[in-house]
Amino acid sequence: MGWLDRSWRLIGTGLAFASLGLGGMVLAATIFPLISLATRDPVARVRRTQYVVHRSFRLYIALLCVTRIIDLDLSDIGRLADCRGCQIVANHPTLLDVVLLMALNPRVRCIVKHQLWSNPYLGGVVRAAGYLRNDLPSEMMIRACADALAEGSNLLVFPEGTRTRPGENGKFQRGFANVAMLTGVELRLALITCDPITLTKGEPWWRIPERRPLFRVSDMGALDANEYMGYQYRAVGARRLVARIEGLYRDKFTN
């Protein structure tokens, strides 16, 4: 029966990819305009849009599990589901990472590639949900991040900048640390694993593993950015903070 299971997962994965794009188009054309018309306050409008995205992703992940395309272990999510006004820092092994973390928490903004703003499938979603473009000038980016955190949204960041291939240790970029140093925000560390690994960078969606992949999302705890503000130069504190977090993730994958 192994070939039957694998054949179904191949078909189901293709349908899942198609539904993700089409679902974004439907939301952007129907629900989000209604929210915009019914909600004058821009902050409340973004919150309601984020909640719709959250519930949609929860349904999407639930369907992937019910149809046995993936397995999911959330037994160690800790505070990831109920934190507010935090930077959620996560590693980035698979294409589902953003969906998983947004399905867990209803108040999430993320920094996305600027190309998504004109994407016919997801452009309406990222604009309506108040996500941040990655091509903003540095000062505008930091101000936008600080505003999002002050509103109680969580800021989702992947310090590696892109998905990492199996066996690689991506070097963390320092942008998230600079935001943390300027805002004094709490950093909540999330660990995402997938066994067997799938949907990695450069891998086509149809190259599915021999057995059903198990995704795990775990809470690695929190770090207080204020602990790194005692240095004469902010850049030194940011480097120390990045090195600390890199070391924590490295230890997880070498133990």
Return the ∠ at Cα 118 (arms to 200 and 172), rounded to 5°: 40
| C-alpha pair distances (Å), 213 with each of 61, 113, 180, 253 | 13, 27, 34, 18
Given a contact cutoff of 8 angstroms between Cβ atoms, the answer to whether 159 and 89 are in contact is yes
Domain ranges in the chain are 2-254
Query: pLDDT at position 4, please?
Result: 87
Question: What is the DSSP-derived secondary structure letter of residue 90?
Answer: E
Torsion angle of the four alpha carbons 40, 45, 46, 48, in this order, in degrees rounded to the nearest 10: 170
99 vs 91: CA distance, rounded Å:
13
CATH class of the domain comprising 2-254: alpha beta
pTM of the model: 0.91
Tens of pLDDT, residue by residue, the chain (255 residues): 578 889 999 999 999 989 988 998 899 889 999 999 999 898 899 999 999 999 999 999 999 999 999 999 999 999 999 999 999 999 999 999 999 999 999 999 988 888 888 887 778 888 888 888 888 888 888 888 988 898 889 999 999 887 877 666 668 888 889 889 888 899 999 999 999 999 998 888 899 999 999 999 999 999 998 888 888 788 899 999 999 999 999 888 766
